[in-house]
Amino acid sequence: MIKVVATIVELKEELGYYRNNGKSIGFVPTMGALHQGHISLVERCRAENDVTVVSIFVNPTQFNDKNDLKNYPRMPEKDVALLEQAGANIVFVPDEKEIYPEPDTRVFDFGMLDKVMEGKFRPGHFNGVAQVVSKLFDIVNPHRAYFGLKDYQQLAIIRAMVKMLGYGVEVIGCPIVRETDGLAMSSRNLLLSAEHRKSAPLIYRTLSEARNKKGEFSVKELIAWVESRINSDPNLRVEYFELADADTLEPVESWEHQNGIVGCIAVWAGNIRLIDNTMFKE
């Protein structure tokens, strides 16, 4: 039976029991409105740990857009049922006061990592992510924590934060789970109109085609090709498409780049913003 806890005191008590018995604790932080992408993290966590803790918390400090925060889908009962079915042991559902009894004024410096792409278009977003994840790590103190590659830049930020703050948490990145038409699963997909939902698979279709065009186009030309192909659908508007170093996330100039290359994209579908990414060079 899954245990639903809302307070830090209760969660620590639950986890203390496992810790004292030498059990490994795995952690999956989420904002709820769960889908198969989240469940894949839970399954991996279960396979690698004795106890699986999932948090559901729509973190206000990472929303740079008030309407996005207000409209973010919330369905706690359904989420708990899904987690129970997936075999999670504990779900932590704190309210805002529990996580932020006082405003969190910490400012993190991630250098270039949070200046590019999402960092550029969503100012303050990654600072909020670092605030909440560090608080959750302090509370849960897991052995391992699971994050999706769907949020590629977020994973890089979390790894940097773990190094910076000296957490003894092993951070594990998990593959992107997609709908059958290729669209990356996201809680925000629920907010798409029928028409925008129909257009959205063009994003990943284009990224996949672009991967095969490396021989034909320079980096610059390929960026322009991806943007114009997606923008040719009147329901979609590319905010950015970058080909970036897989570790530093700085833009790359050529295919001869000495490290992995990741292609990251953000696209507006009506007033819903979707992100996706894929590797262009391992």
The residues annotated as belonging to the active site are: 38
Contact 56, 14 (CB under 8 A): no
Stretch that binds ligand AMP, among 32-40, 88-96, 118-126, 209-217 (CB under 6 A): 32-40
For ligand AMP, the binding residue among 113, 130, 177, 183 (CB under 6 A) is 177
Edge to edge, what strands does the sheet with 51-56 contain? 3-5, 90-92, 51-56, 25-30, 144-148, 170-174
Contact between 37 and ligand AMP per CB under 6 A? yes
Instruction: Kindly state the smallest distance separating residue 187's Cβ from ligand AMP, in Å.
Output: 5
Q: Mask 222-261, x = binds ligand AMP (CB under 6 A)?
A: ----------------------------------------
The interface region with ligand AMP, picked from 65-73, 171-179, 215-223, 232-240 by CB under 6 A, is: 171-179
Which candidate, 32, 41, 45, places its Cα nearest to that of 81?
32
Residue 250 C-alpha from the chain's centroid: 19
Residue 52 host element (H or E):
strand 51-56
* From candidates 118, 151, 227, 242, binder to ligand AMP by CB under 6 A: 151
Instruction: Determine which residue in the list 30, 49, 127, 199 makes contact with ligand AMP, applying CB under 6 A.
Output: 30
Q: Does 147 bind ligand AMP (CB under 6 A)?
A: yes
Q: Is the dihedral of CA 78, 80, 82, 85 positive or negative?
A: negative
Considering CB under 6 A, how many residues would be counted as binding ligand AMP? 17
With binding defined as CB under 6 A, does residue 187 bind ligand AMP? yes
Direct distance between the N- and C-terminal alpha carbons of the chain, in angstroms, rounded to an integer: 41
Q: Does 126 bind ligand AMP (CB under 6 A)?
A: no
Task: Please report which helix (H) or strand (E) contains residue 278, including its range.
Answer: strand 272-281
Q: Which of 5, 11, 15, 31 binds ligand AMP (CB under 6 A)?
A: 31
Stretch that binds ligand AMP, among 174-182, 191-199, 205-213, 243-251 (CB under 6 A): 174-182
Residue appearing with tokens 């973010």 = 72
The least CB distance from residue 37 to ligand AMP, in Å, is: 3
CB 263 within 8 A of CB 242: yes
Crossing angle for the helix pair 125-140 and 8-20, nearest 10 degrees? Answer: 50
Q: 3-class DSSP state for residue 242? A: strand
d(CA 27, CA 144): 6
- Which residue sits closest to ligand AMP, CB atoms considered? 148
150 binds ligand AMP (CB under 6 A): yes
Which spans of this chain sit near ligand AMP (rule: CB under 6 A)?
30-31, 37-38, 40-41, 147-148, 150-151, 174, 176-177, 184-187
